[in-house]
């Protein structure tokens, strides 16, 4: 039994993203040579000049559009609603071990951890096809492992939020390299933005089905949901080197 936040680290290879054929982004220019890629982008910009804007400052995050379609997003919400959920916990280091705690002043969210099955397999496919190559292209990092997928709900009725934190702040979570948030129902709630306080007060909100990827070392928060329920698919990624750190940590904790 793993003492890490999720049980994946001691499970067999289904939770690995390897082996997999290297895949490409869902945009037509990613398969074209550089000049054609530039031509494609320029054509799009000329057709839609209103989407061009000046960027002067932003957090080092990656948006990946249309990872999941709306029907599949609703499927994930239905699973959360019908198959049970639990109060989301935070992890602290206590006597050299990770210990789960519930702290309503720090985080208010309810999670459903997806089990193995067709839905889980489809998510792994989407990650391999779209998220993995995008991270490699943007950050020169090969993700091969991930934590259990969870569907989280921030509910305005209970004050859904997650105060500023880092996702790799303990020894037992230091292996995490990238966090993923995929919003599942942007149109159905107000508030619930992501913010990266070290890079200003801007509010980040991927469209429904789109992913936001960022380093687990970045300070970030989820602002209060003030109306409705915000559903999101959440996970963390790392590589083969970090997988060795997980094994070493588990061995050390078990011995102690």
pTM for the full predicted model? 0.79
Task: Please report, for the chain, how many H helices and E strands are present, in that order.
Answer: 5, 16
Phi and psi of 24, rounded to 5°?
Answer: -125, 160
CATH 2.60.120.620 fits 7-255, yes or no: yes
CB 208, CB 184: distance < 8 Å: yes
pLDDT digits (tens, 9 = 90+) for 177-202: 999 999 999 999 999 999 999 999 99
| Interval 50-109: pLDDT, tens | 667 888 889 999 999 999 999 999 999 999 999 999 999 877 776 666 777 788 889 999
Contacts of 80 (CB under 8 A, 6+ apart): 110, 112, 151, 153, 231
User: What distance in Å separates the CA atoms of residue 3 and residue 5, rounded to the nearest whole number?
Assistant: 7
Residue with the larger pLDDT of the pair 92 and 119: 119
Residues 169, 202: Cα–Cα separation, whole Å: 23
Give the mean model confidence (pLDDT) for residues 230-256. 89
């Amino acid at each position: 039994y793993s003492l890490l936040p999720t049980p994946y680290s001691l499970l067999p290879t289904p939770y690995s993203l390897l082996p997999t054929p290297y895949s490409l982004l869902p945009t037509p220019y990613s398969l074209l040579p550089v000049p054609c890629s530039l031509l494609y982008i320029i054509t799009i910009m000329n057709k839609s000049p209103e989407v061009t804007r000046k960027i002067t400052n932003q957090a080092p995050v990656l948006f990946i559009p249309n990872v999941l379609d709306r029907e599949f997003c609703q499927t994930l919400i239905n699973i959360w609603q019908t198959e049970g959920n639990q109060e989301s916990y935070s992890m602290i280091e206590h006597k050299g071990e990770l210990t789960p705690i519930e702290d309503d002043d720090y985080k208010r969210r309810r999670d459903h951890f997806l089990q193995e099955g067709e839905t889980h397999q489809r998510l792994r496919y989407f990650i391999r096809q779209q998220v993995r190559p995008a991270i490699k292209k943007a950050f020169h990092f090969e993700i091969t492992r991930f934590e259990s997928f969870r569907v989280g709900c921030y509910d305005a009725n209970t004050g859904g939020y997650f105060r500023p934190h880092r996702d790799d702040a303990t020894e037992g979570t230091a292996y995490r390299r990238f966090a993923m948030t995929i919003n599942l129902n942007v149109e159905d709630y107000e508030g619930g933005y992501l913010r990266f306080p070290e890079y200003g007060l801007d509010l980040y909100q991927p469209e429904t089905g789109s992913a936001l990827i960022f380093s687990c070392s970045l300070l970030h928060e989820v602002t209060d949901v003030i109306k409705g329920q915000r559903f999101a698919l959440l996970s963390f990624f790392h590589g083969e080197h970090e997988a060795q750190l997980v094994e070493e940590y588990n061995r050390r904790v078990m011995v102690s």
